[in-house]
A and B are shown apart, each in its own frame.
Chain A
Amino acid sequence: MSLPHPPPPGAWKRLRKNPVAMIAMAVLAFVIFMAIFGPLIFHTDPHATSRAQFQPPSTKYLFGTDNNGRDSFGRVLEGARISLLVGFCGAMINLIIGTIYGLISGYAGGRVDGLMMRFIEILYAIPRLILLIIFTAVFDKHFKTWLTGHGYLELVGYSKIIILIVTLGAIEWLTMARIVRGQVLVLKNLQFVAAARALGQSHARILFRHLLPNLVGIVIVYLTLTIPAVVLDESFLSFLGLGVNAPQASWGSLLSDGAQVINPVKSYWWLLVFPAIVMSATLLALNFLGDALRDALDPKARR
């Protein structure tokens, strides 16, 4: 499944003709807009408690209130901010590591390539989420101690989020590295690379000026597919109570709160349903967009 290089003309046109992709982009744009500007427009305070506990959705509380009388709408917006921030930043780190690793491995070839790929195989065999859980727990404590020791007290509350971004950024790059390597293996045998080498250009220049631009298409496709993976991982941790710290909220911790208050006697369904819909819609949109981008950039792979 090799991409034609450079990306075929009309990729954007094909994407625009795909109604599913357009709807996905609209949903994403709306969620991102609300995450950034929502709290400013609606003046929501995700941490303000009140005596109005477990209020069902109404015009005053759009998504109802939780056990502390906090406005769920504001909580979901804060969740969107944190989940998306972790998702985008984590995916970017993955992208950088994966691309550089794949570039070097594919370009070097031979023994180096064999060794680097063997290393990836080994990492694939290790249950990453389990190690990730330990990594975040351990480094969060270290980082907090360090922050307190150096007087960055205002940052202590964000320590978990920073650690989450870094550790999540360091675990989902394996697939990206493999795909980039595969592309480089094809690309480096093409004539423009031979020409660049004949002109006496350095390896670094060939890698970053000639090979990298030709990888943009496939890298974007896998970026759109890595973001939902990272968001899922983060919410997995937060659901278990090992992610963001209360009172901060991410979609995972909101869902965990919602799942805890389900019982046969009285169900506070709004605490579960709204975060679930928002999160699922976002992940769906990202996955649909990733699939559509792949189709648009690589018409041959379309089935």
Chain B
Amino acid sequence: MFAYILRRSASMLVVLFFVITITFVLVRSMPGGPFTRERKLNPATQKQLEAQFDLDGSLWDQYTTYLGVRKNNSGQYQGLLQGDLKLSTSIKARSVREILAQTLPISFTLGTAALLIASLGGVWLGSLAAVRHHSPIDVGAMLAALFLISIPTFVIGPVLILLFAIKLRALPVGGWNSPASLILPALTLAGPYIAYVARLMRTSMLEVLQQDFVRTARAKGLSENRVIYQHALKVAILPVVSFLGPLAANLLTGSIVVETIFNIPGAGPFFVNSILSTDVFLLEGVTIVYCTLIIVLNLVVDIAYTWLDRRIRLE
């Protein structure tokens, strides 16, 4: 197990390095740098700005400076290795780290709420459908799942706003002021993934319910509820656990759209704006932090899965 964790962590570092490098190359090769405006800056000012942000020098010099293995113009090592993400070039006098420290917790709260709704709701719906196989509940749940998968979040979101915020006036239209303003965005974000988890859970539960240990549990005279929700669920939930990594990744990217719809001050809108304004450091910073988070999450989920899987096999 220890060797497995070590091997996976090593490969994670390699992936991370590639992601950083690819992001860097793509962003820095963009035609039109961060200081290209409608009205051309005078060359001296442009030079000065570039020097100030360490954007002068060859691509290789910039790369090594950004990584933090080469001294910058002020003679210090200030890069990724030192945990420095540099200053934003479009938002005056704000560092990328500051912006992320302010916005990421908001995105996280939203993502975690959606993750809970999607996984718990999906597991419950999926098991219910599997237990009542071929019943109207099963058919109805799977039909609803297909609907949820097909209807994009940016349709569900505005429709929910139209219904609950504007017609019924029960919940806030958007923003991030009260706990109530979390409800609609979290539901919107979770929507399609409740459906994915439910489908996964149903298939896996149907398979598990055919297995011998379930028959044994029933033969022992355990109540149907205990058979299903204690014995079968423990095994059937495994595919859902392995889906948690991709799920977290999808929720993180999905929240970019949901934050835009509901006007939530998360990291998503900053990411979109950083592309539109070619804010190189902000764009690189958000991408690298997002990717790191997702890669680490994937690793944690994989380790947890392997551990659970083994424990169940040993039992």
Binding site for B on A (CB under 8 A): 122, 124-127, 129-131, 133-135, 137-138, 141-142, 145, 228, 232, 235-236, 239-242, 252, 255-256, 258-259, 262-264, 267, 269, 272, 276, 279-280, 283-284, 286-288, 291, 303
Tell which of B32, B159, B275, B287 touches A276, judged by Cβ atoms closer than 8 Å: B159
B106 adjacent to chain A (CB < 8 Å): no
Give the bracket for the number of chain B residues in contact with chain A: 35 or more
Pick from B15, B19, B149, B252: contact of A287, CB below 8 A: B149
Do A272 and B158 have beta carbons less than 8 Å apart?
A: yes
Contact of B298 among A125, A135, A232 (CB under 8 A): A125
Interface of B is mostly: helix
Q: A138-B26, A287-B146 are in contact. Are A259 and B157 (CB under 8 A)?
A: yes
Q: How far is the CA of A262 from the CA of B27 in the complex (A)?
A: 35
Question: Are B26 and A303 within 8 A (Cβ)?
Answer: no
Can you name the residue of chain B whose Cβ is closest to the Cβ of A303? B206
Partner of B154, one of A145, A228, A252: A252
Q: Which residues of B contact A141 (CB under 8 A)?
A: 30-32
Are A240 and B15 in contact, with the CB atoms below 8 A? Answer: no
The answer on a CB contact under 8 Å between A242 and B275 is yes
Report B-chain residues with C-beta under 8 Å of the C-beta of A280. Answer: 150-152, 155
Contacts A228-B150, A242-B275 given: A262-B31 contact, CB under 8 Å? no
Contact B272 A241 (CB under 8 A): yes
Instruction: Flag whether B238 is at the interface (Cβ < 8 A).
Output: no
Q: Which residues of B contact A135 (CB under 8 A)?
A: 26
- The answer to whether B276 and A127 have CB atoms under 8 Å apart is no
CB proximity to A under 8 Å, residues B128-174 = 133, 146-147, 149-152, 154-155, 157-159, 161-162, 165-166, 173
Answer yes or no: B261 CB below 8 A from chain A CBs: yes
**Residue ID in chain A nearest B158 by CB atoms:** A259
A126 to B206, CA, bound (A): 31
State the total of A-B contacts with C-beta under 8 angstroms: 120
0/1 string, B3-29, CB within 8 A of A gives 1: 000000001000100010011001101
| B256 close to chain A: CB less than 8 A | yes
Contact A127–B158 (Cβ < 8 Å): no
Please determine whether B161 and A262 come into contact, CB atoms closer than 8 angstroms. Answer: yes
* Interface contact A126-B291, CB-CB below 8 Å: yes
Residue pair B154, A138 in contact (C-beta under 8 Å): no
Contact with A along B248-273 (1 / 0, CB 8 A): 01001100110011000000000110
User: Chain A interface mostly helix, strand, loop or mixed?
Assistant: helix
User: Quick one: closest B residue to A265, CB to CB?
Assistant: B166
A125-B294, A263-B166 are known; give 6 further A-B pairs, CB within 8 A.
A122-B11, A130-B291, A240-B257, A264-B173, A276-B158, A284-B147
Contacts of B245 in A (CB 8 A): 125
Partner of A239, one of B15, B257, B287, B294: B257
| Cross-chain contact B256 with A283 (CB below 8 angstroms) | no
- A178 and B267 CA atoms in complex are apart in Å by 33
Return the chain A residue nearest B249 by Cβ. A127
Which residue of A129, A262, A291 contacts B146 across the interface (Cβ within 8 Å)? A291
Nearest first, the 4 A-B pairs at minimum CB distance are: A283-B150, A284-B150, A259-B158, A129-B253
Question: What chain A residues lie within 8 Å of B147 (beta carbons)?
Answer: 284
Residue of chain B at shortest CB distance from A258? B158
A124 near B157 (CB under 8 angstroms)? no
Q: Would you give 17 A-B contacts (Cβ < 8 Å), ordered by A?
A: A124-B246, A127-B290, A127-B294, A131-B22, A131-B287, A134-B27, A135-B26, A137-B30, A138-B27, A241-B276, A242-B275, A255-B158, A264-B173, A280-B150, A284-B150, A287-B150, A291-B146
From A144, which residue of chain B is reached at the shortest CB distance?
Answer: B31
Judging by beta carbons under 8 Å apart, are A240 and B272 in contact? yes
CA distance A252 to B295 in the complex (A): 29
B155 touches A255 (CB 8 A): yes
**Given A127-B294, A303-B206, also A235-B154 (CB < 8 A):** yes
Complex Cα–Cα for A126 and B290 (A)? 10
Tell me which residues across on chain A come within 8 A of B19, comparing CB atoms. Answer: 126
Residue contact A288 to B146, C-beta cutoff 8 Å: yes
Query: Which partner residue on chain A sits nearest B30 by CB separation?
Result: A138
A235 — which chain B residues lie within 8 A by C-beta? 152, 154
